[in-house]
Structure 1
Amino acid sequence: MVPGAEFDSYYGRPIIKQPTWKTPDVPLYLFVGGLAGASAVLAEGAALTGRPALARVARLAAASGAGVGTIALIHDLGRPERFLNMLRVFKPTSPLSVGSFILAPFATLSSAAAACQVTGWLPGVERLSGVGAAVFGPALATYTGALICNTAVPAWHEAYREMPFIFGGSGATAAGGLAMVFTPVAQAAPARRMLIAGAAVEIAAAESLVRRLGMVAEPYQQGRPGFFMKTARATTAVAAGATLLLGRRSRVASAIAGGACVAASLLTRFGIFEAGMASANDPKYTVVPQRERVRARQAAQAAVAQ
C-alpha cells in the first residue's frame, strides 16, 4: 500500500509566514477589548435601571480595559507614533484601521465616564460619555475577531463566520463575570444575564466552528491551544450553570462563578491565538483545503460541461 502523503514545504519552511504579533501583548489585547466593550454596554444598562454599584464597576472595567488594551497594542507595535499614524487615514477595507478608529474614541469616552463616576462631577458628561462608549462597545468587542480572520492563517481565516460571535460572547461573559465579582447580588442581575447569554453564544459558536472547519479546526483541539480551549469551554459552562442556580442567592458563589468566567475568557483568547500560530506552521492546513477547493471547482466545471 502507498503510505499517506506527508505535507511539507520547500526546505521545511512554512508555506505562509507566521504573524509577527507578540505574546502576551496581542492575546491580552484581544481579551481586554472584549471585556471593555461589553462592560460599557453593561454600565449604560445599569445606569438606566438605577443600579449605581453595578454602573460604577462596569464603567471602571470599560475604562481600565481600554487603557490596558491601548498599552498592549502600542507595545506590540513598538512605538507610540505607529498607533497615531494609523489614525491619519481611515481605510474601511482594513479591520486594523477600522479598529483604531473604534478604540480611540471608545477609550476617550469610557475614561471620561469613569472619571465622572468616581469624582461625582459633571453627571451630564458622564451620561453622554457612557452612551457614546456603549455605542462603540459592541464593535470593540467583536472587531478583533474580524481582524485575525482577515489573515492567511488557516485556523483563523476559515473561521470568519464564527469568530466574531466567539469574541462577542466571550467578552460578554467576562464583563458579566467581572461585575459579579465586585457588585452586590441585589444589583448584579444584568451582569448575571449578560454572563449566561454570552456563555451560550460563545459555546454554540465554538461548537459550530469545530464542526464546520473539520480538519482545519484540529489546532483548536490539540496540544496546548486545545487544552486552553477545552478548559475554557468547560469552565464557562460550569460557571454559567452555577450563576443560573446560585448567582442570585449567594454572594460567594456569584463571585467565584464570575471570576471563573473572566479566567475562561482569557484562556479562550490565548487558545485561539496559539491555535492560529500552530496552523500557520503546519503546511497541511494550507495545502489540503486548497486542493479540496481546486477539486470542487473542477467537478463543478465538469458538471456544467456535461
Structure 2
Amino acid sequence: MTEGLATPGAGWRRADGPPAQAREKKRRKGGRRGGGRDGDPTVDEAEFTSYYGRPIIKPPVWKTPDVPLYLFLGGAAGSSAVLGAIADVTGRPALTRAAHYTAGGGALASVVWLIHDLGRPARFLHMLRVIKPTSPLSVGSYILAPFSALTAATAGIQLLEAFPGLQKFGLRRIAGWFPALRKVVGSTSAVFGGPMTTYTAVLLANTAVPSWHEPYKELPFVFAGSGMAAGGGICMAFTPVDEAGPARKMAVAGAAVELAAMHKVEHDHGIVGEPYQLGKAGTMMKAAKACTASGAGLTVVAGRTRVGAAVSGALLAAGSLLTRFGVFEAGMASARDPKYTVVPQRARMAAREEQARQDEARSVTR
C-alpha cells in the first residue's frame, strides 16, 4: 500500500497565503497589528493548507454516478444470488425467481456501468488478461466476470421455465433438465456472491484515499451489510409474504451490520471520519441512515404485509444506494483536502517515534 506523501511546504500556514506574500502585506500595512493583551502584537489565525493549495494525493479518476451505481448493483446482486440459492434449496419458488432475476439483472447492469466508466468494453477485457493475487482490482475482475455470467445464465433458465413460449430452437427437448441445471448454476453463482458483495470495499481501501484507506477493516462490513439490506429488501418487495421470510431476515440483519459498521467508520478513525459527516457526503450518509433504519424497523413491524414489505424494501434499497454514493463522495473529498492526508501521517510518525523511545528506554533499563 502506497501512502500519499506530503508535497514540499505542506503544513500549517497563515490563512492569507504563502509566507512571502504574508510578510509583504504586513510591511505595506506598517508592520504587525496590535490589539492583544498589553499591546502585544496579534497574528491571523492559521489554517491547514498544502503548497499553494494543491492536493497532496491525486484523487481517483472514477466518475459519478457510474462507480457508485456499480458498487450498489454489485452488492445487491451478490446478496440476491446467495438468497436465491437458499430459496431454491428450501422450496420457495417465488422467492427463488425474484432473487435470481435481481441477481442477474443487477450483475449485468453493474457491468454496464463499469464499462461506461472505463470508456470502452475492450478495457474491461484487458483486465482479464492477467491475474494478480495481490491486486484487488485483478482478483475482483475474476470475481465479477464469472459471477455475471452465472447469474445471467440462472436468470435466463428461470425465464425459460416461467415462460415456456420462449423455449425455441430445440430447447423444449431439454426443458426437463432446467430445474436441476438452475440449481447447479445458481449454487455456483452464490459461491461468488459473497466476494462480489465485499471485494469493492477492499478495492477502495487499497487506495491512498484517506477516508477509504484508514477504515479498511470496517469498510467490507459496511458493503456487506449494505448489499444484504438491498438484496433482501428488493426480493422481499417482489415476493409473496408467506415465502419472503429469508429475505426479511437478510434485510434486517444487513441493515444492522451496515449501521453498526458505518458508525465505527465515522467515529473511530479521528479526522478521516469527518468527510462522512460533512458536506455532500454527510447529507447522503444521514439520509442513508434514516432510510436504512426506518426500512429495517418497518420490516420488523409490517414486513408480513404486502404494503409493508414493498415500502420497507424500497427504503432499504434507497438506503443502500445512498450509502454507496456517500462513501464515494467522502473518499473524493478526503483526497482533495490535504489535511486528511498529512494529519494522520504525522500522527503515525509521532506514534512510531514514541514507540521507538519506549523501546530504547526499556533496552537501557535491562
Query: What is the TM-score when the length of structure 1 is the normalising length?
Result: 0.97
SS of the equivalent of 2:131 reads coil
* Distance (whole Å) between structure 2 residues aligned to residue 123 and residue 166 of structure 1: 35
Q: Which residue of 1 aligns with 2:251?
A: 195
Q: 2:222, 2:261 within 8 Å by CA — same for their partners in 1?
A: yes
Task: Output the CA distance in 2 between the equivalents of 1:87 and 1:74.
Answer: 13
Shift of 1:191: 0.5
In our comparison, the structure showing a higher alpha carbon Rg is 2
2:15 match:
none
Shift in Å at residue 2 of structure 1? 6.8
Amino acid at match of 2:279: G
1:300 Cα deviation after fit: 1.1
Q: Secondary structure at the match of 1:7?
A: strand
* Secondary structure of the corresponding residue to residue 6 of structure 1: strand
Distance in 1 of aligned mates of 2:115 and 2:322 = 22
Deviations 1:163-220 (A, max 9, x none): 0000000000000110111111111111000000001110110111122112110000
Query: Are 1:234 and 2:290 counterparts?
Result: yes
Task: Name 2:313's counterpart in structure 1.
Answer: 258
Matched with 1:272 is 327
Partner of 2:333, secondary structure, is helix
Q: Does 1:103 align with 2:144?
A: yes
Kindly indicate whether residue 68 of structure 2 is the aligned counterpart of residue 20 of structure 1: no
Please state how far the C-alpha of 1:3 moved relative to its aligned partner. Answer: 6.1
Q: 2:34 corresponds to which residue? A: none
Distance of 2:287 and 2:269 partners within structure 1? 20
- Rounded to whole Å, the distance in 1 between the matches of 2:154 and 2:237 is 21
More helix by share: 1
What's the counterpart of residue 185 of structure 2? 129
| Equivalences for residues 1-306 of structure 1 within 5 A | 5-120=46-161, 121=175, 122-248=178-304, 250-306=305-361
1:241-295 deviation line (CA, Å, top 9, x unaligned): 11111111x2101100001110110000000000001000110000100111111
The alpha carbon displacement at 1:4 in A equals 5.6
Q: Give the secondary-structure state (helix, strand or coil) at the position aligned to 1:261.
A: helix
Instruction: Report if the CA contact (8 A) 2:294-2:315 is conserved.
Output: no
Secondary structure, aligned partner of 1:186:
coil
Distance 1:193 1:227 in 2: 28
CA–CA separation in structure 2 for the residues paired with 1:85 and 1:245: 49
Aligned-partner residue type, residue 243 of structure 1: T
Q: Using the alignment, how far apart are the partners of 1:288 and 1:3 within structure 2?
A: 21
- Matched letter for residue 213 of structure 2: H
In structure 2, how many angstroms separate the alpha carbons of the residues matched to 1:5 and 1:303?
Answer: 33
Give the number of equivalent residue pairs. Answer: 305
Deviations 1:49-101 (A, max 9, x none): 11111110110110011101111111111111111111111011111111100
2:72–2:227 Cα contact (<8 Å) kept: yes
Give the counterpart letter for 1:94 in structure 2. S
Give how far 1:37 is off.
0.2
In structure 2, distance between residues paired with 1:44 and 1:201:
22
Name the CA shift for 1:2/1:42 in 2 (closer, same or farther; >3 Å): farther
Distance 1:48 1:19 in 2: 42
Deviation at 1:11, TM superposition (A): 2.2
| 5+ long unaligned stretches in structure 1 | none
CA RMSD of aligned residues (A): 1.1
CA contact (8 A) 2:57 2:208 kept: yes
| Distance in 2 (alpha carbons) for counterparts of 1:63 and 1:150 | 28
Deviates more, 1:95-104 or 1:6-15: 6-15
Q: Distance in 2 between the 1:126 and 1:147 partners?
A: 31
Q: Structure 2 length as normaliser, TM-score?
A: 0.82
Identity of aligned residues (%): 58
